[in-house]
Amino acid sequence: MSYENILYAVENGVARVTVNRPDKMNALNHLTITELGEAFDAAKADDSVRVLVLTGSGAKAFVAGADIGELLEQAGNAKGATALAAFGQSVFRKLEQLGKPTIAMVNGFALGGGCELALACTLRTASTNAKLGLPETSLGIIPGYGGSQRLARIAGPGVAREWILTGDMFSAEEAHRVGVINRIFSPEELEEGTQKMVKAILAKGPVALRFGMELVLRGWDMDQTAGEALETEYFGQAAETEDMREGMSAFLEKRRPEFKGK
């Protein structure tokens, strides 16, 4: 499949998705969001893909938000704006529910829809020069691609309120401090540091990874007792996998496991 506004490549178990509009700070217009949705579908369906890394082209931006010019055209009334938010949310949900770990490698500005895109990933790495924030209220709007909900769940309601109400840009260090960014690196080390994380994940049992992700994701919307019941259920299912036998045998035999994802 060929894309206009994104790059998509699969190598060694990793799907790499790059938003590719560097002259527009990789801003998300309708076509870009559509193509992202297609790429997420492709990565989900491809059994050779075990991890997805999402980043932005160029040295300045991950994604500097929704395309503001297009936003004014398409979301100039309640009906248009509601449809636009629902469409973006449906695509970002595909990313969140890919069933495989996804990492946003935040290489510069991640603002508005760009920050929301990163929040829909399982994990986030960032370079020390990255700037993150939800500046929508500066434009008289609010986050529309799930950011108000995901930020509150990832970093807590206090942080979500601060980011939404001030519209400030936050440093990667601050985003790391409040738990939005999992790991930070110098710009030169961002790629290598992210790859290290990818490598660690690739060495784990794929079914266990899927169960672990689903537990946290589904547990968000449950009370603790229900979440623990779900954990028990998955724990039981994991015990029936070949991967569990392989993982434990490999430990006892002092060798690396060779997981099959079954």
What's the token pair of residue 189? Answer: 């080390």
Nearer to ligand COA, 136 or 243 (CB): 136
Cβ pair 36, 118 in contact under 8 A: no
Catalytic hit among 116, 174, 192, 246: 116
> In terms of CB distance, is 122 or 127 closer to ligand COA?
127
CB of 160 to ligand COA, least distance (A): 16
Close Cβ partners of 57 (under 8 Å, ≥ 6 residues apart): 7, 18, 19, 20, 21, 22, 26
What the block records as the tokens of 53 is 């890394």
Q: What is the CA radius of gyration of the chain?
A: 19
Q: 5 exposed, middle or buried (CB, 10 Å; 0-12, 13-18, 19+)?
A: buried
Whole-number minimum distance, CB 131 to ligand COA, in Å? 8
Binding site for ligand COA (CB under 6 A): 24-25, 27, 64-69, 109, 111-113, 135-136, 139
Find all residues with CB under 8 Å of 36, minimum gap 6, and list them: 6, 17, 19, 28, 91, 95, 117
CA pair distance 7, 16, nearest whole angstrom: 8
Answer yes or no: are the C-beta atoms of 201 and 182 closer than 8 Å: no
Q: How far is the CB of 25 from ligand COA (least distance, A)?
A: 4
**In this complex, which beta carbon is closest to ligand COA, that of residue 109 or of residue 211?**
109
**Distance between CA atoms of 144 and 84, rounded to whole angstroms?**
8
CB of 95 vs ligand COA, minimal distance in Å? 18
Minimum distance from residue 122 beta carbon to ligand COA (Å): 23
Strand 51-56 versus strand 61-63 pairing type = unpaired
Min dist CB 79 to ligand COA, Å, is 19
Closer to ligand COA by CB, 145 or 211: give it: 145
Clarify whether 191 is annotated catalytic: no
Alpha carbon of 132 to those of 185, 191, 208: distances in Å?
15, 18, 31
Residue closer to ligand COA, measured from CB, 41 or 168: 168
- Active-site residue, selected from the candidate residues 136, 191, 228, 233: 136
Residue 96 is among the residues annotated as catalytic for this protein = no
Instruction: Give the catalytic positions in this structure.
Output: 116, 136
